[in-house]
Structure 1
C-alpha cells in the first residue's frame, strides 16, 4: 500500500511537481538577495527618526513599509505625482525603485497558480498534497530499505537510479514535508477553508484634532524601534480627524498626530501569528537562511522525479516476458515469485526454462496471485521470495502471508522456499523465512529445506537447482546469468 501511495502520485504528477519545485527554489533566492542588497536600519533607530528622515526628502510622504528582509520602502505624492522608492534608513534618501521585480512576480504567479487563476491554484494545491503524500510514504520506504529509522543513513547498494533517489530523499524529506504542509495551510487560507481574521481596530472617537507635531516628538513613534516596524501610514493632509496607523510585529494601533500618543492598540491574535509564521516558513521572507535550505531541498524534486521514473521503468523491464507459461490449472510445477526490483523474476525464468527442458509443465506467477484452488494438477510449489527492507514483503508478494494463514488446510503438493537477499543487511531473507515458517505452521509439507541466495549468486542458485533436481529425480542445471547494472557506493 505504501509503495502504491508513493509510486502513482509521483508518476502522474511528476511534471507538476517539477515546475512547482523549480519555481519555489528560484523564489527562495530573493529573500537573501533582499537582505544583502537592502540598506539595514541601525539597531537603535526608532520609527520617529526614520519617518522624519524620509519626510525631509519627501514632504508629501504617505506611507513607510519595512519588509521582513529589513528593506525600507516609502510612498509619497509630489504635488499630484505619486512616487515610491527603496529608502536608505540612515539618510532617508532613495536608493532604488520600489516597483515589483517582474522576474519575481512572474515566478510567483507560476508557483502559485501556473498562470491559470483559481484553477491553477487548485492544481498547485493538488501538487502540494501529492508532495506531502510522497514525503511521508517516501520516508517510510527509506526506513524499510535501510533496515529501520536508526539506520536512516546506512550505506546503500543497487542500481544507481534507486540509490540516488534514496540518497536525495533522506536528505530532503524534512524540507519537503515542511514546504508541503505550509503550502497546504496557505492554500486553505486562500480558499477560506481556514479563516484568519485580518488585524483590524476601530478608530477612536476622541482625537485631538490638531496637527503639526514634529515626528521626532511623538512618544509612540519614538518608543517603536524600526526593527519591529511593518507599516506606518500618515494621516490625510487637511483632515483633523485622521490618524497615523502603526503596524508592527506585535499588532496595530492609532497615533494622534497632534499629541503623538497611542490612542488605541490591538495585539495580533494567535491565529494571525500562526499564519504569519507559516508564511515565513514557506517563503523564507524573514528567514533567508531557512529559505535557501528549503530551496536547495526543492531542487532535489526534479532529480527525484527523474530517478523515480527510471526506477519504475527498470523494474518493468526487469520482469521477463515468460514464454510457454502453462495454464495454472494444467501445470505440474507452480513457481511463485516475490520480487521488488525485478531480479527474482529473472531467476524464476531460468528455473522455469530448465524445468520445461526436463519435461515439466510450469506455471510462473506472482505470489500475490496465490490461489490453491486454481492449481488442480500441481505436484509441487516452488516459492522464490526476495525481502524488502526490514523483513517486509516485496511488491509482488503483498498479502501472501495472510493468504497462507487464512488456509483451512494446506495444498497437497509440497513446497520449497528459496530466499533472495543480501547478508550485509540485518533482515537477510527475513520475509522468505517468514513464509517458510507460516507454511510449516499450517502443516504444508516441505519438498526441500529452506535455502537462501546471497547477492544474486549464480553459484548458490546452481547448487540449489541440483538439490531440487535430485529431489525430483531429474538432471537440473540452472545456468543463470543475472543482469547486474553498473554500481558504485555513494
Structure 2
C-alpha cells in the first residue's frame, strides 16, 4: 500500500509545481537569444513571474530564452540583456535550480555590451532577506559585466513591486514592458497536532517528533499519506522532509498544506510527520 501512496503524493506534488510554473516556454535557441532570463527557484513560485517577463519581452520584439540558473550556458553570442529572477533558500543559500550557478558562472564568457539585472524574491521576516540575489548581483559585477540596474527585491511575491520593477527596466531599456502578474493561489489544508514526543535531552541532543493529521471533519488526501519522516533534520530549524512526499518550510507550508508550527527554542531538532 506504501508504493501507491507515494506515487500518488509524488504525482500531486508534480502537478502542483506544474500548475504554478505553467506550460513550457517558447524559447529561442541559445545562439539566437538577445535576452536571457535565468530563474532561481526552490518550489517554482518564481517561475510565474519569469513567465510574465518572458512574454512581455517577446511581445516587445526581443528574442528570449528563459531557463534555470543552473542551465547557464558558457556563452550567448547575441545576448545584450541578462535578467536573473531568484529566490533565496533557508539561511541565505541558493535555491534548488541555482545551487551550481556560481560554479557555472566561473566558465561564463559574456558578450561585449552585455548588461545584467538581478531581482530577488523573499520575505522580509527573515534576517537574510534575498541574500542569494545580492550575492549573485555581486558575482556578476565581479565578472566585469555591466550592471543595468541595482539589485532589487520583491517581498512576499508582491505583484505591485514586480510591476514597479518592470517599469524601471522599461525606462532603462526603452522596451514597452507592462508586467501584470498575479500568482495563482495554492490550495491549502488545515492540520492539527496529534502528538509530540521528545528525545535526547539526557545527551544534550534534543529531538522532537511532531505528528500532524487532518482536522476532524476536514479529511483530505493527507490521511492517505502515511510516510516516515526523513532521518536527517537540520539543527535549530523547523525544516524537515518526508521522502518523495513533501518538504515543510520555515513558514509552515507543506507544498499546499498549512499549519501553525509549534514554537521550538534552542538547538532542538524537529521532525514532522504527516499521517
Moved over 4 A (4+): 304-309, 486-489
Q: In the alignment, which residue of structure 2 is the partner of 1:443?
A: 144
Q: Does 1:386 align with 2:94?
A: no
Unaligned segments of structure 2, at least 5 residues = 189-257, 261-275
Q: 5 Å matches for 1:349-364?
A: 349-364=51-66
C-alpha deviation, 1:354, in angstroms: 0.9
C-alpha deviation, 1:316, in angstroms: 3.4
Question: What secondary structure, in the 3-state scheme, does the structure 1 residue paired with 2:13 have?
Answer: helix
Q: Does 1:370 align with 2:69?
A: no
Query: Structure 1 323/391 Cα, relative in aligned 2: closer, same or farther at 3 Å?
Result: same
Question: What secondary structure, in the 3-state scheme, does the structure 1 residue paired with 2:149 have?
Answer: coil
Query: Structure 1 438/323 Cα, relative in aligned 2: closer, same or farther at 3 Å?
Result: closer
Aligned pairs, number: 190
Q: In the alignment, which residue of structure 1 is the partner of 2:127?
A: 426
CA contact (8 A) 1:355 1:362 kept: yes
C-alpha deviation, 1:317, in angstroms: 3.4
C-alpha deviation, 1:319, in angstroms: 2.3
Q: In the alignment, which residue of structure 1 is the partner of 2:50?
A: 348
String of CA shifts for 1:314-341, please: whole Å, max 9, x gaps.
Answer: 2233222234322221111111111111
Q: Does 1:326 align with 2:28?
A: yes
Q: Does 1:15 align with 2:5?
A: no
Query: Structure 1 377/480 Cα, relative in aligned 2: closer, same or farther at 3 Å?
Result: same
CA contact (8 A) 1:405 1:438 kept: no
Q: 5 Å matches for 1:393-412?
A: 393-407=94-108, 410-412=110-112
Q: 5 Å matches for 1:8-407?
A: 15=2, 310-373=12-75, 375-407=76-108
Question: What secondary structure, in the 3-state scheme, does the structure 1 residue paired with 2:119 have?
Answer: strand
CA contact (8 A) 1:322 1:349 kept: no
CA contact (8 A) 1:372 1:411 kept: no
CA contact (8 A) 1:354 1:477 kept: yes
Question: What secondary structure, in the 3-state scheme, does the structure 2 residue paired with 1:372 have?
Answer: coil
For 2:147 and 2:57, locate their aligned partners in 1 and report how far apart those are by CA, in whole Å: 19
CA contact (8 A) 2:84 2:119 kept: yes
For 1:463 and 1:432, locate their aligned partners in 2 and report how far apart those are by CA, in whole Å: 18
CA contact (8 A) 2:80 2:111 kept: no
* RMSD between superposed Cα atoms in Å: 2.3
C-alpha deviation, 1:453, in angstroms: 0.7
For 1:485 and 1:317, locate their aligned partners in 2 and report how far apart those are by CA, in whole Å: 9
Q: Does 1:452 align with 2:153?
A: yes
For 2:92 and 2:168, locate their aligned partners in 1 and report how far apart those are by CA, in whole Å: 26
Question: What secondary structure, in the 3-state scheme, does the structure 2 residue paired with 1:482 have?
Answer: coil
C-alpha deviation, 1:447, in angstroms: 1.0
Question: What secondary structure, in the 3-state scheme, does the structure 2 residue paired with 1:355 have?
Answer: helix
C-alpha deviation, 1:489, in angstroms: 4.4
User: Which of 466, 472, 487 in structure 1 is aligned with 2:167?
Assistant: 466
For 1:316 and 1:476, locate their aligned partners in 2 and report how far apart those are by CA, in whole Å: 26
C-alpha deviation, 1:410, in angstroms: 4.3
Decide which structure has the larger Cα Rg and report it.
1
C-alpha deviation, 1:362, in angstroms: 1.0
C-alpha deviation, 1:426, in angstroms: 2.1
Question: What secondary structure, in the 3-state scheme, does the structure 2 residue paired with 1:335 have?
Answer: strand
CA contact (8 A) 1:384 1:419 kept: yes
